[in-house]
């Protein structure tokens, strides 16, 4: 059957079974485009309906999260955990607290997570969870009461050998602390059930930095394939949260100049570059004061553009690090026509299918999120190892392991994604590279 027809038939079934879950359809379609031709060449996966099984979660948990706000009023949110695939290890993936969270978004994230975790080479299955709770504008006490209620239900479903959640949008060190405290209280055990923990209570050095650092290590590896490096490059970053902050830090350490970052209200453009002092301010502004990025522009006399994303700013390298579908086809055309030749994704699925088409058509170095942002979960895997061993590795040791994992992920993408002309299609490389290990484990374990 022709490639297009294969994908069409497969997607018709996925769409019929998962109605209205548009982000999930989008994530599956991108993978199906690479994997279905590969499955045709390897019929053992076809007979065992491996991709059909991988697109159906092993388990979906949905629950009510009641909590009381500071005014004494009862609030009710939705809680979710998608246990997507445990073929190669316990479910592993973050929790997202954001008003847009719904089943389709979490299923897309959980599906991507399965392939991403496989790429890290570590024994981790895939999962994702969260809530439509919005931490923005809430007091610390409100966030704590919400987290305690959320964990009161979640605790019965997770465990260090079953399912190990971490952070994602809206879930940082503060939230992981409240969640861990409640888990410990309910179970009466101190165990590595969450990653992203504080360093004094079971966390790993470099975990906060890992996704952003990894995203930059991946860009550096892509640049090496054309004998180039980040030194002297002009970079744009979107977002100003956990991933963005450490992408800015590492890119700057590599000699690049980062000129933008953003939040959901707009972006700042600083032609002089975001140096260490300015980045320290962003960390304080976002992690402690919990303010808006427009305040950066006032403080450092930079430009602030309300309501827009930074992709119109001329750059060599772009690091999307905010959210899904934040780079559309038009943005991609603008980036490429302005000379951008490297895109390394920190966010999950930040580029729309139209944007990806533009990047591949122009043969730029395009590192999709499931490869380029895998450093976060890889270091979560290292946190789990340290918890099991009951010891802590040094900063240098964890960073070296992270760096080597990113080099290995890049090599795996090249192995599966390089065409006859020498161009590396990292989308295809990441999808097939991630798929094979999980698929083989599923074949070995029978029809489960």
Helical spans, DSSP H, in 18-120: 22-41, 43-47, 50-54, 103-119
Could you tell me which of 208, 200, 199, 206 has the C-alpha nearest to residue 171? 208
> From its phi and psi, is residue 118 left (phi > 0), alpha (psi between -120 and 50) or beta?
alpha
For ligand NDP, which residue of 57, 346, 417, 429 counts as binding (CB under 6 A)?
346
| 204 lies in the site for ligand NDP, by CB under 6 A | no
Beta bridge pairs of residue 81? 61, 129
Residues 64-103 within binding reach of ligand NDP (CB under 6 A): none
How many C-beta neighbours within 10 Å does residue 122 have?
Answer: 20
Assess whether 314 carries a catalytic annotation.
no
Residue placing its CB nearer to ligand NDP in the complex, 7 or 347 = 347
203 is written with which tokens?
Answer: 């966390």
Span from 85-93, 317-325, 394-402, 435-443 in contact with ligand NDP (CB under 6 A) = 317-325
Q: Closest separation between CB of residue 130 and ligand NDP, Å?
A: 10
Q: Which helix (H) or strand (E) holds 242?
A: helix 242-253
Contacts by residues 173-180 (CB-CB < 8 Å, ≥ 24 positions apart)? 173/198, 173/208, 174/140, 174/143, 175/95, 175/97, 175/135, 175/143, 175/147, 178/143, 178/144, 178/147, 178/148, 178/151, 179/95, 179/147, 179/150, 179/151, 179/154
The DSSP secondary-structure symbol of 387 reads H
For ligand NDP, which residue of 88, 205, 243, 409 counts as binding (CB under 6 A)?
243
159: helix, strand or coil? strand
Catalytic residue among 92, 107, 116, 128: 128
Size of the site for ligand NDP (CB under 6 A): 22
Residues 6-25 within binding reach of ligand NDP (CB under 6 A): none
For ligand NDP, which residue of 158, 237, 322, 413 counts as binding (CB under 6 A)?
322
Residues 369-388 within binding reach of ligand NDP (CB under 6 A): 373, 376
Residue placing its CB nearer to ligand NDP in the complex, 316 or 383 = 383
For ligand NDP, which residue of 182, 242, 252, 387 counts as binding (CB under 6 A)?
242
For ligand NDP, which residue of 170, 381, 429, 434 counts as binding (CB under 6 A)?
170
Span from 22-30, 242-250, 408-416, 436-444 in contact with ligand NDP (CB under 6 A) = 242-250
Binding-site ranges for ligand NDP (CB under 6 A): 167-170, 172, 211, 239-244, 263-264, 321-323, 346-348, 373, 376
Residues with a known catalytic role = 128
């Amino acid at each position: 059957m022709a490639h297009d027809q294969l994908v069409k038939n497969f997607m018709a079934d996925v769409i019929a079974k998962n109605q209205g879950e548009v982000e999930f359809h989008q994530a599956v379609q991108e993978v199906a485009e690479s994997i279905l031709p590969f499955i045709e060449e390897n019929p053992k996966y076809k007979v065992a309906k491996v991709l059909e099984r991988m697109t159906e979660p092993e388990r979906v948990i949905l629950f009510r999260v009641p909590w009381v706000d500071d005014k004494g009023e009862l609030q009710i949110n939705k809680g979710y955990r998608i246990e997507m695939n445990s073929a190669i290890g316990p479910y592993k993936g973050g929790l997202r607290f954001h008003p847009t969270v719904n089943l389709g978004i979490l299923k897309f994230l959980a599906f991507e997570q399965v392939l991403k975790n496989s790429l890290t080479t570590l024994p981790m299955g895939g999962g994702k969870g969260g809530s439509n709770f919005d931490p923005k504008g809430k007091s610390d006490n409100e966030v704590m009461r919400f987290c305690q209620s959320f964990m009161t239900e979640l605790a019965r479903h997770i465990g260090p050998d079953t399912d190990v959640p971490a952070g994602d949008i809206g879930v940082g060190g503060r939230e992981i602390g409240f969640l861990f405290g409640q888990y410990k209280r309910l179970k009466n055990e101190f165990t590595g059930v969450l990653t992203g923990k504080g360093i004094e209570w079971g966390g790993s050095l470099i975990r906060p930095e890992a996704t952003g650092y990894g995203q930059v290590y991946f860009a550096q590896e892509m640049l090496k394939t054309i004998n180039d490096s980040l030194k002297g490059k002009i970079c744009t970053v979107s977002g100003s949260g956990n991933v963005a902050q450490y992408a800015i830090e590492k890119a700057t350490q590599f000699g690049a100049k980062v000129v933008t970052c953003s939040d959901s209200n707009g972006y700042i453009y600083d032609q002089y570059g975001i140096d260490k002092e300015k980045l320290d301010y962003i960390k304080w502004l976002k992690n402690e004061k919990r303010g808006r990025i427009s305040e950066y522009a006032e403080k450092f006399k930079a430009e602030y553009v309300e309501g827009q994303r930074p992709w119109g700013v001329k750059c060599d390298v772009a690091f999307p690090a905010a959210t899904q579908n934040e780079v559309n086809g038009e943005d991609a055309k603008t980036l490429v026509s302005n000379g951008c030749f490297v895109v390394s994704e920190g966010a999950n699925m930040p580029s729309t299918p139209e944007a990806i088409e533009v990047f591949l058509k122009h043969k730029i170095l395009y590192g999709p999120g499931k490869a380029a942002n895998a450093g976060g979960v890889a270091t979560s895997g290292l946190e789990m190892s340290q918890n099991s061993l009951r010891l802590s590795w040094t900063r240098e040791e964890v960073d070296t392991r992270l760096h080597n994992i990113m080099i290995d992920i890049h090599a795996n993408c090249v192995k599966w994604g390089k065409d006859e002309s020498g161009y590396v299609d990292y989308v295809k490389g990441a999808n097939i590279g991630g798929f094979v290990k999980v698929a083989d484990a599923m074949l070995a374990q029978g029809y489960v």
